[in-house]
Amino acid sequence: MNKLEAVVFNNRGGPLKLKLKVAKKMPLPQRCYLWACIIFGIITVLPLFHYMSRWEAVNEVKEEDLIRLSNLDLEEGLVYSGNIIKSILDIKSYTSTVLENGLRVLVVSDPLTSLAAASCDVAVGSFQDPPNIPGLAHLVEHGLFLGDSEHKEANTFEQFLAEHSGHSNAFTSQENTNYYYKVSPDKLEESLHRFSLLLSHPLLELESLQREYHAIQSEFLKDKLESARQVWRLIKHMANPSHPFHRLSPGNLETLQNLQHSSVIKEFHSKHYYPENMRCVVYGREDSQDLLEMSRKCFSKLTNMKPRSEPDQEKGWVSAYPEERLGVWVDYEPLREGNDLDMIWPVTGASRCGLGMQYTCSQRGIPNQR
């Protein structure tokens, strides 16, 4: 070993001696051996780092991903997994199928997840509300988890999820109602059975639903104070009154008073909640085949659901923004000071009813109904 001695001065003026040891040059064979060990170590450890770096991401099932996935347009009659575009870091595998009852299901297998999850999207929203009961689709969303034919006590599903590290939520938009929940992975199958039962055989009794009127009313009052909602209401108000977009979509205490009989809400449910009108996503630790089998078994409860009547034919709807309603200047008093530029335009044929609206230059977007 060679020794190198350096002298520096500390801030008190005294000398501070440092002794540095410099190794002799390592012989070539040892250097080659050392480099080989380093390269081998990197190759071995890299996959471990890869999984560790993804741990945070896979640990948490993102609700927006579930909702997005349950809105995917899946090809009918085909089991496939190759059409999902995903990141190279995404270790999850995706497989979709159409069950015998017509329900489209996407299963996501993630062996590392600490929570399982499921989501179901029903192609019904405020546009399908009866004209005299705005908010009916929203009320069904609020009432669906209140009990089913086997669990008649209110909120037992919520309690079940809470006991197993989970929770649920739902929202109603113009043309979709979406339900989603998370649960401990070992309770996924049991939760799917219960979820399926709620979707197919909810109680929807008028007495228990009336308690939800006040929840919807408080959402309505809260929305009145939100600036983004104010603009949204104005945009809706400017639409053609003959188009359902013009209506008060979330409903409130006043509009829901028009609901007099449970039969109306049950008929609405059976008209729209049938397998061909729904898409589900199941997310769990099991491999894809097991998840598909689990979905097939649990969602078979939906088999008996047949629409009593054909869903509304929306093709006959008038345009939401005919020519005379475009290019109009409107002054309004905003709820808050601010500078926003929202650019919105109707796109014919972009959605089922011919009303496709996208916010492009707005950072806040339009929140969904809760």
Residues between 41 and 60 that touch Zn ion (CB under 5 A): none
Q: How far apart are CA 204 and CA 198, in angstroms?
A: 10
- The CB-of-209 to Zn ion minimum distance in angstroms stands at 12
| Residue 285 binds to Zn ion (criterion: CB under 5 A) | no
Q: How far apart are CA 145 and CA 166, in angstroms?
A: 14
Catalytic residue among 56, 141, 207, 323: 141
| Residue 368 binds to Zn ion (criterion: CB under 5 A) | no
Of residues 92 and 370, the one with the C-beta less far from Zn ion: 370
Of residues 173 and 200, the one with the C-beta less far from Zn ion: 173
Buried b (16+ CB within 10 A) or exposed e, 90-112: ebbbbbbbbbebebbbbbbbbee
- At 261, which amino acid appears? H
Of residues 138 and 243, the one with the C-beta less far from Zn ion: 138
- The CB-of-178 to Zn ion minimum distance in angstroms stands at 12
Q: Is there a catalytic annotation at residue 100?
A: no
Of residues 114 and 368, the one with the C-beta less far from Zn ion: 368
Dihedral angle over CA of 323, 237, 171, 345, nearest 10? 30
| Residue 370 binds to Zn ion (criterion: CB under 5 A) | yes
- The CB-of-119 to Zn ion minimum distance in angstroms stands at 17
- The CB-of-324 to Zn ion minimum distance in angstroms stands at 34
Residues between 184 and 223 that touch Zn ion (CB under 5 A): 219
- The CB-of-171 to Zn ion minimum distance in angstroms stands at 7
Asked if residues 364 and 350 have their Cβ atoms less than 8 Å apart, the reply is: no
Asked if residues 79 and 296 have their Cβ atoms less than 8 Å apart, the reply is: no
- Per-residue x/- marks for Zn ion, 219-258, CB under 5 A? x---------------------------------------
Phi and psi based region of residue 274 (left: phi greater than 0; alpha: psi -120 to 50; beta: remaining): beta
Residue of 196, 188, 233 lying closest to 367 (CA atoms): 233
Residue of 199, 171, 168, 202 lying closest to 183 (CA atoms): 168
Of residues 170 and 183, the one with the C-beta less far from Zn ion: 170
Q: Which stretch binds Zn ion (CB under 5 A): 21-29, 223-231, 271-279, 362-370?
A: 362-370
Buried b (16+ CB within 10 A) or exposed e, 346-370: beeeeeebbbebeeeeeeeebeebb
Enumerate binding residues for Zn ion (CB under 5 A).
Answer: 219, 370
* Residues known to be catalytic: 141
